[in-house]
Chains A and B, each alone.
Chain A
């Protein structure tokens, strides 16, 4: 099936070459970082995690969101998701690939990365995160590939894939829960020290991931013969709407606890993010987009109109990307343990590396989607369902 990735239209190859260009630029920037140390990034003694780890955190959510298609399709036998469930699984593969690459480029001593396995430390959440992420990658690779392969051969999916599919459901929840625990279990970091962190993560994941999936599905429909039909997209949109409402609700809960209790430590991060840090415009943009997206996705009239739906999805994706892929990590570090403010902003090499990793993920995604769609095109099942 992999050979399908080697034959494609001009658009496909242009996209691949552009992505390869970004990847090469990112690799060169990474060599620069490898040689000169993480000092080439904007991170500092006080803000010791930055863009890389926040992108990782955001993308774990995108990866976990595949479960929002797997549950209806496999658990509730919602057949209409048959066309797009593979898109979710392949999106998970690409996202986890990006997650791991982001962790790798964030390491001070990447050569020692295997120490995590050579000296297993079950009390460290990072150890568990490494385990569940690798497991999730493996599960989705095996499941996605095996089901597509079976589809191509015209056989039912192999019997062993069923238990793996069921296993992948709690596993998807676990990857984002464990990632939330990375933050939620740290004393002295008020912004993160909240029991609702994992729930917030899951809500934002189940909004952001499927929103991206809708965008991808609509893009695929425009440029390829792939068409999942109208109904599954509408169903995903409803999932996005519910999840986004939950996500905004959870943020309001956090704000209430912080400001009604009036405990300085709990308020500081929000004050930094929304009132006097360099992230203020971004955070407000995130909030405005979140509200806007709710207006665009809750009323059925807007949701059912695909041109407003895609606007809603883009707003949600950007809003959550800012919130999780920026604010969450930085807000945890600032104010510092000394109650001082150290600003963070990614540097040029850091941005290029980040873009490179995203490009790598999109290359993986492009190739996987290309294979899936080519297989369907050959089978004549790419078009809209009758």
Chain B
């Protein structure tokens, strides 16, 4: 666990902020100037990831990140792709950004895997459609899925434009090595929806989300609402992509595509 004191305080601080605020005003809060414009939350916290595609070191790098997440969250490894549960995974540019096709893309990018996960949208459609408030938005920007409340109607899966949500079609425990699961984290039950949680249990302890920690700096985690944050600094200096920006969900996951440190 390599984490310096400054970073610790930063994360501990921002995860603390806003948690005390009421979560009730999830839906239509934040009047933007125009519907497409960006809004910053009143709580002063909006957690986000910036993923630098070029900094992930090959196959191993991706696998390390995915395993870091799936291992600590007891995400089952289900061979049948129809029943798959995945919190973070990779796919090609073509599949990750189907709305921005470019047949003349550099070969390097065409073949590059992109890390995909819940976008923790600022205006999440999944939250809008959930009939039981099982999924909702925290004041700090995390889109939370409460498996205790979920009735398994899968409306959120129809609503999510990013395919970020997984349903437990089968009992996940049949696909977990129950002897070697993370004893500190629950598994899920059959018939509920789950997805990336952005590791609130780690944030509470002042740790970064597991994927960011395992990424050797390729995934930068921080507060978008803070102009001094590292994520903002990268966004200021790099051209970044987001998935399906035109539908106005305002994802909080940014992809740095260009040439690493020197670009921008």
Contacts and interface: CB of A to CB of B under 8 A. Distances in A.
Q: Do chains A and B directly touch (beta carbons under 8 Å) in the complex?
A: yes
Nearest to A36: B170
B160 interface: yes
A265 interface: yes
A127 B131 contact: yes
Given A37-B169, A116-B132, A48 B95 contact: no
- Most A-side CB within 10 Å, residue of B94, B131, B163, B247: B131
B159 interface: yes
Nearest to B247: A187
B204 interface: no
Interface in B76-100: 81-85, 91, 94-96, 98-99
Interface stretch (B103-111, B146-154, B220-228): B146-154
B169 A43 contact: yes
B247 A39 contact: no
Interface in A101-131: 103, 106-110, 112-113, 115-116, 118-119, 121, 123-127, 130
B151 A116 contact: yes
26 contacts: A44-B169, A45-B82, A45-B157, A45-B163, A46-B82, A46-B163, A48-B154, A48-B157, A103-B153, A108-B192, A109-B150, A109-B189, A110-B152, A112-B149, A112-B150, A112-B151, A116-B151, A119-B132, A124-B129, A126-B153, A127-B131, A187-B247, A264-B101, A265-B99, A338-B163, A342-B82
A109 B149 CA distance: 9
A43 B158 CA distance: 12
A37 B149 contact: no
A126 B131 contact: yes
- Most A-side CB within 10 Å, residue of B99, B154, B244, B248: B154
B104 to A, nearest CB: 17
- Most B-side CB within 10 Å, residue of A36, A43, A186, A189: A186
B247 A124 contact: no
Interface string A179-191: 0001101111100
Given A37-B171, A130-B131, A337 B162 contact: yes
Given A44-B81, A116-B151, A126-B129, 17 more contacts: A37-B169, A43-B82, A106-B154, A107-B191, A108-B154, A108-B191, A109-B150, A109-B151, A112-B152, A119-B149, A186-B129, A187-B247, A188-B161, A188-B249, A336-B163, A338-B96, A338-B163
B167 A124 contact: no
A123 B154 contact: no
Contact of A44 (B82, B125, B128, B168): B82
A44 B244 CA distance: 23
B39 to A, nearest CB: 17
B251 to A, nearest CB: 11
A342 B82 CA distance: 8
Interface in A84-116: 103, 106-110, 112-113, 115-116
Contacts of A125: 129
Interface string B125-152: 1001111111000000000000001111
Interface residues of B, number: 51
Contacts of B133: 119, 121
Contact of A108 (B94, B95, B190): B190
A339 B98 contact: yes
Interface of A: 36-39, 43-46, 48-49, 103, 106-110, 112-113, 115-116, 118-119, 121, 123-127, 130, 182-183, 185-189, 264-265, 332-333, 336-340, 342
Contacts of B171: 36-37
A46 B85 CA distance: 11
Contact of A107 (B28, B149, B151, B244): B151
At the interface, is chain B mostly helix, strand, loop or mixed?
A: loop
Nearest to B243: A337
Contacts of B249: 187-188
A180 to B, nearest CB: 14
- Most B-side CB within 10 Å, residue of A46, A103, A130, A333: A46
B166 interface: yes
B9 interface: no
Contacts of A183: 158
A340 B169 contact: no
Contact of A48 (B28, B158, B191): B158
Contacts of A44: 81-83, 169
Given A116-B131, A124-B128, A188-B161, A39 B155 contact: no
Contacts of A124: 128-132, 155
A337 B149 contact: no
Contacts of B98: 265, 337-339
Nearest to A38: B169
Contacts of B132: 112, 115-116, 118-119, 121, 124
- Most B-side CB within 10 Å, residue of A44, A187, A189: A187
Nearest to A103: B153
Contacts of A115: 131-132, 134, 149, 151
